[in-house]
Amino acid sequence: MASSAAAEAAGRVVDDHDDWESDGEVDVEMEVGGEVHGRDADRRDGGEDGEDAYSLVTRVSDTSAAEARAGKDIQGIPWERLNITRKDYRKARLEQYKNYENFPQSGELMDKLCKQVEPSSKYYEFQHNTRSVKPSILHFQLRNLLWATSKHDVYFMSESTVGHWSSLSHKLSTVLDFSGHVAPVEKHPGSLLEGFSGVQVSTLAVNEGLLVAGGFQGELICKGLADHNVKFCTRTTLSDNAITNAIDIHRSTSGSLRITVSNNDCCVREYDMERFQLLNHFRYSWPVNHTSVSPDRKLLAVVGDDRDALLVDSRNGKVTSTLVGHLDYSFATAWHPDGCTFATGNQDKTCRIWDLRNLSTSLAVLRGNIGAIRCIRYSSDGRFLVFSEPADFVHVYSVAADYKKRQEIDFFGEVSGITLSPDDESLFVGVCDRVYASLMQYRMKHAFDYLDSYV
């Protein structure tokens, strides 16, 4: 992935991303009454009427399932007040959104080679959209910034803070604030007791009662969800190319808590999170963007700034298989619970499914609509594969149907992350936008959902 220095120089960190505003954000609010309003406007008329019109369009408004069924836009976008319809705006976005590629035309080539599966199924249905939650993204290529620990509890990045949202109580709270100084209260070998100031969080992971944030300068900050204080701080590398790209929290075969960290310095590191010690350190020939551990803990799926993906032995980091097929750099991996199949997501706009029993070719090639596949999740029961594009689309595939049936979740805005609750009942989508930022919640459909009306 782009280094922090290179990303900033190229204007590719989200805050300064050249295409972020025109291609990533929802700019329909600028067309109220045919006049320019919103973030790019200086409200030239300066009158109260203009301000009132803008306020009407952009005011915070949550959307419930009942309101959505009655016809309200799930994001609260008042299409009836705009001079463009949702259908026309979607058409324009599909035509104009620019997918970031390291190999030019990799996405266009895959569009020609890979046919899109028609969205004919519905596995999750809209439940609620809250605009009280305002997810944010720091680096445009890193979208693992949203995690659910139950069907009601979600953790997310919002500017310099990790927040918690309860969909049950509709309460918002701050879990960790990086705007100032953070330091551990416990003493462990290798822990930086002086802590860090002004950490720019590039990636996040929350699982097994542990929250781990990774930073642009290789920082790792660990906090127990039940604790008020930070447990452990370390800097994984002193390299100039130090961005922490991804963190995977898991249990070892013996049951001990571990994390696997992917870094831009071309390394994968494994830490014991009970003793807070570095266990393994593997080096590869390119920046590592994402690593996930197989269910039996024997293999790692490793992807990064290379067209090929790797399967490596988790004990020694040695490559056991090289996976050929993608045309660009990859940023996401996920294992099916059966341990036989896994998925990789790439900037060529495809998600590939691989089977350990035949790695000579991918089992399936699943296409996105407008951009790179930045985030992938398998449901814990193995029935569904969910992946997100950089903006506007989340796809849910049926594994039982051999990935030939899918649901398409369609909205407007950049995706900060997707997450399934541990019981798979809830699917959350973080939407990053200066006006329509929100947290969308979907719930799994069941055969007898009609009985809910009597409960």
Digit-coded pLDDT (tens) for 380-399: 999 999 999 999 999 999 99
- How high is the pLDDT of residue 354? 98
Confirm whether 174 is domain-assigned. no
Question: Distance between CA atoms of 420 and 105, rounded to whole angstroms?
Answer: 32
Instruction: Please check the confidence at residue 11 and state whether its pLDDT lies above 90.
Output: no
Chain segment 185-211, per-residue pLDDT in tens: 999 988 999 999 999 999 999 999 999
Tally of structural domains, the chain: 1
Q: 158: helix, coil or strand?
A: strand
Q: 56: helix, coil or strand?
A: helix
Question: C-alpha distances in angstroms, 370 versus 230, 347, 390?
Answer: 39, 10, 8
Confirm whether 401 is domain-assigned. yes
Quote the mean pLDDT of the chain: 88
Assign 33 a pLDDT band (cuts: 50, 70, 90).
Answer: very low
Confirm whether 93 is domain-assigned. yes
- How high is the pLDDT of residue 23? 43
Question: Distance between CA atoms of 261 and 212, rounded to whole angstroms?
Answer: 10
Confirm whether 450 is domain-assigned. no
**Residue that wins the pLDDT comparison between 116 and 126:** 126
**Residue that wins the pLDDT comparison between 290 and 37:** 290
Contact yes or no for 62/131 (Cβ under 8 A): yes
Instruction: Please check the confidence at residue 455 and state whether its pLDDT lies above 70.
Output: no
Confirm whether 162 is domain-assigned. no
Assign 113 a pLDDT band (cuts: 50, 70, 90).
Answer: confident
Confirm whether 335 is domain-assigned. yes
- Give the domain range for residue 336: 62-110+289-417
Instruction: Please check the confidence at residue 20 and state whether its pLDDT lies above 70.
Output: no
From the number of C-beta atoms within 10 Å of its C-beta (0-12, 13-18, 19+), residue 448 rates as exposed
Mean pLDDT of 111-121: 87
Mean pLDDT of 400-417: 96
Assign 27 a pLDDT band (cuts: 50, 70, 90).
Answer: low
Which residues does 42 contact at the CB level (< 8 Å), separation at least 6? Answer: none
Confirm whether 423 is domain-assigned. no
Mean pLDDT of 71-92: 95
Mean pLDDT of 202-221: 97
Contact yes or no for 342/335 (Cβ under 8 A): yes
Assign 25 a pLDDT band (cuts: 50, 70, 90).
Answer: low
Kindly compute the dihedral angle of the four CA atoms of residues 100, 102, 108, 112, in this order, to the nearest 10 degrees. Answer: -140
Global confidence as pTM: 0.89
Mean pLDDT of 363-376: 96
Confirm whether 72 is domain-assigned. yes
Chain segment 304-348, per-residue pLDDT in tens: 999 999 999 999 999 999 999 999 999 999 999 999 999 999 999
**Which is it for strands 391-398 and 257-263: parallel, antiparallel or unpaired?**
unpaired
- How high is the pLDDT of residue 32? 30
| CATH number, position 325 | 2.130.10.10
Mean pLDDT of 265-280: 96
